[in-house]
Each structure stands twice: as structure tokens, then as C-alpha cells.
Chain A
């Protein structure tokens, strides 16, 4: 188990190093932030002076080495635009992203798993067809459209919820639903497939023959066996929710990392983009590791390193 963990940690570090290198050079292909910082009428001398102050006049490999040196010391540098440490900026945005991801996951699981169960159990009935249609609709609505629509209905017309920005828990409702509806479909589909597969297995037929009711069957046997693909998907969806909230965060003026990333990309604020991407790769790598460990907890057959 230790050897396995060490091997996986080594792979994880290598992955993060690769991502850091890629993001560093990719960004530098996209232009120079200095041009965006100076006023319209800046002279060449202004531009050169600012570029020098920001360190973008150094050779690329020097910049790269100093970047690697900084991340080795866990220093993400200073924002080019806001001139404050990137770590501070990310730390101030992260709670919002986590809150939104949690809210969305709640919506996605809370709706998606029951719907998936209903789709599997009632697969030939009309109710399942209607549900399947609704799931498809929820997944097909782009969030920039469904988000604005929700704002117009629930905030402007009905006045039930605040239209945007942050504050109490009521501010979190619409962004969570807008974001959660997208992953809800994924959860429903995976739950349905996993459950159907389990339903076709021999032990289910045996249990049924012994007179076990569907509810008991579901809770005692199926829930646990069908949960593995759902956990896998949850792991993937969490990284998706953390990364994919860009549009929802923009529409609802939710100050999470997605919004920060887009603004920083547009402003060519390299240190922030690097910081967010590094954080994202770290989270993805860590979640993958965690998912593997969870598998072994749920299913003894894939418990690694144990030769029973």
C-alpha cells in the first residue's frame, strides 16, 4: 500500500510539473499584458518601462526558471493587474467556488440519483419517458440562457430571490440550480445504467425469488453495488464543477475562481492564471487519488496491496 501511494504521489508531482510548464508557455504565446495596462496614448518609453518593471523583458527561460523557483517555494507571485499576492486573491475567491460547487453537487445528486433510480425501475412506463425528456432538457439548456431566464423570473418578476452577487444563502440558490442541473443529467444517466446492470444479475433474481420487496432490495443490495460508478462520476463532476462554473459565476456575478480565471485570461494576468491552473491540477490529481482509495473501501475486490 505504501509503495502504491508513493508511486501515485510521484506521478502526481510529475503531472503538476507538466501542467505548470504547459500553462507557463501557452500563456506567453498569447500576447503581452503590458499593452493592456498602459493608456491608449502611451509612448514606447512608457511601455518599455512598465514591461521592465513587470519583468517581462527578461528572456523567456529566465522567467521560466524564476517561475519554477517560486512554485517550489509555494509562492504564486503577485498579480500583474492588482499588484497583490496571487495566493491572497485565490484564497479570497476559493470559499465562493467551494460553496457553489457544494450547492450544485447537492442539486445534482439530490435530483439526479432519485431520477436515475426512477428511470431504471420504471424503465418502460410513461413516467420514465417524461423524466428522460426533462433530464435531456435540463442538460441541453446553456447556463448563460437558463441563468438569465431564472434571474428574470425569480428576481425581477417575482422578487423571491436576489438577482446576483453574494450575501445570504438565498444568493446561492439560483447559481447552484443553474450549475447543478447540468450535472444532474450525468448523475441520472449513470445511476440508471448502474442500477439496470445490477438488476440483471443473478443475486437480484434470487433475492426476488425469496420474496424481497423492491425497496428492501434497493437499500440492502443494489445501493451499495451500484454506487461505484456513481462515486467515479462524482469525483469527475467535482473537478468539473470547480472548473466549469465560469459561465454561471459570470452570469450571477458570483465571485468564484471561474470568473477570476476568465478575467485574468482576458487581462493576461499570467500569475493568477498560473495559480488557478496549478490549484485546479492539484485538486484533480488529489481527487483521482481519493477516488481510487474510495473504490477500495467500497469494493474489497479492488483493495490494493492486499493479497487475500
Chain B
């Protein structure tokens, strides 16, 4: 028999933060995936909203592309505020 597809589950906690990936589960369709996610991932008030996405529909960067994707940021230290030393006398900046 065909296995139920895999869904990735995202939960928004009570504190107004973005939905966060919490795990995955199997379900025949989206509606049951939400119901299963409620049972599996929110038994202790962990969330106020659930997203489910078919795992097959997610496109991920590959570990082999890590350098090409993320290394360019390494040399751009001026993107961080700490790059600019401020004189002690100057306040509120």
C-alpha cells in the first residue's frame, strides 16, 4: 500500500514570533496533517497556529553549496554595527 506523504510542521508560539519548524509527520492530506500536528506537537500549549507543508514541496539548499551561498557574507564585516567604533563622548548611538 502507498505510504502517507510526509509533511513538515511549523508552529507559532504564543509570543508573537514567526512560525518555527518543529518536526514532521505523515498524513493522507493537509487537513489531517493539521489535526495530527495538533496531537503530536501541541499537547502542552506550545502554539497558537500551525502550518503544514508537504516535505516534497520544499526546495532546500544543499550542503555542498554552503561556500558559494554563505561565504560572500564573511568578508562584509561593515554590515555589522560593531564595525564602526564610536567615541565614548557620543551617546545614544
* Chain A partners chain B: no
The interface of chain A, by Cβ under 8 A from chain B, is none
The interface of chain B, by Cβ under 8 A from chain A, is none
